């Protein structure tokens, strides 16, 4: 920034907004790191209950991963479309993003319901408490993201692709991509290593 600040003047609003939102995202990632640390400490404490090896179904988790990854992709395409003022492809991209995000959430809820039905709910063992809080927090973020996405689509429809709307859409896309990064850590540390 300092290299050309003297030539071009202050940084554009868009870059400052993205920077501020990036700081928020990093603080959110630090929140997750505390729960990751808790999970890592407690992952062996099954109190005689089922372990991850018996509980996790990798096929299910693989489909969840694909949903989230493709929704991240379509979200990025939606932001590209709105930058080029192509409203129809923006709406289409964000509709697909919403459907894939909701599919991810549905799969995660069905996994939770299945675990609780098998007697492996959050109160069964320290391992399962940590598992439900960590994965549940990510699910809560995805839920918040879907609500935000709906609001942003409504705002775009009412106010049009103006500067402040496009900045908010950029922030939403950063949030959605960051959730995907957290899911990569979850997939590896909780599911792939836990299922072995």
Contact residues toward other proteins (CB under 8 A) are 1-4, 8-15, 18-19, 22-23, 26-27, 29-30, 33-34, 36-38, 40-41, 58, 62, 65, 69-70, 72-73, 76-77, 79-80, 83, 162-164, 167, 170, 174, 177-178, 180-181, 184-185, 187-189, 192-193, 195-196
Q: Is the CB of 76 or the CB of 122 nearer to other proteins?
A: 76
List C-alpha distances in Å: 127 to 29, 38, 44, 188, 190. 21, 9, 6, 16, 11
Strand (E) or helix (H) holding 97: helix 87-117
Q: Is the CB of 46 or the CB of 65 nearer to other proteins?
A: 65
Q: Is the CB of 119 or the CB of 162 nearer to other proteins?
A: 162
Q: Is the CB of 11 or the CB of 92 nearer to other proteins?
A: 11
Residue the block writes with tokens 């836990």: 194
Rounded least distance, CB 6 to other proteins, Å: 12
**What DSSP string runs through 136-150?**
HHHHHHHHHHHHHHH
The C-alpha angle 126, 131, 137, rounded to 5 degrees, equals 125
Structure tokens at 94: 């964000």
């Amino acid at each position: 920034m300092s290299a050309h600040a003297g030539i071009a003047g202050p940084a554009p609003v868009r870059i400052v907004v993205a920077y501020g939102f990036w700081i928020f995202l990093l603080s959110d990632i630090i929140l997750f790191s505390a729960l990751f640390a808790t999970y890592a400490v407690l992952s062996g404490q099954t109190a005689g209950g089922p372990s991850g090896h018996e509980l996790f179904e990798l096929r299910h988790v693989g489909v969840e991963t694909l949903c989230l990854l493709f929704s991240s992709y379509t979200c990025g395409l939606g932001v590209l479309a709105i930058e080029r003022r192509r409203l129809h492809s923006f709406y289409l991209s964000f509709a697909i993003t919403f459907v894939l995000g909701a599919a991810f959430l549905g799969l995660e809820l069905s996994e939770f319901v299945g675990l609780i039905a098998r007697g492996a709910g959050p109160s069964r063992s320290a391992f399962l408490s940590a598992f439900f809080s960590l994965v549940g927090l990510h699910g809560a973020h995805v839920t918040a993201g879907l609500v935000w996405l709906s609001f942003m689509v409504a705002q775009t429809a009412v106010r049009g692709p103006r500067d402040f709307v496009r900045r908010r859409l950029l922030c939403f896309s950063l949030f959605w991509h960051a959730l995907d990064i957290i899911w990569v850590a979850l997939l590896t540390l909780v599911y792939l290593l836990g299922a072995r």
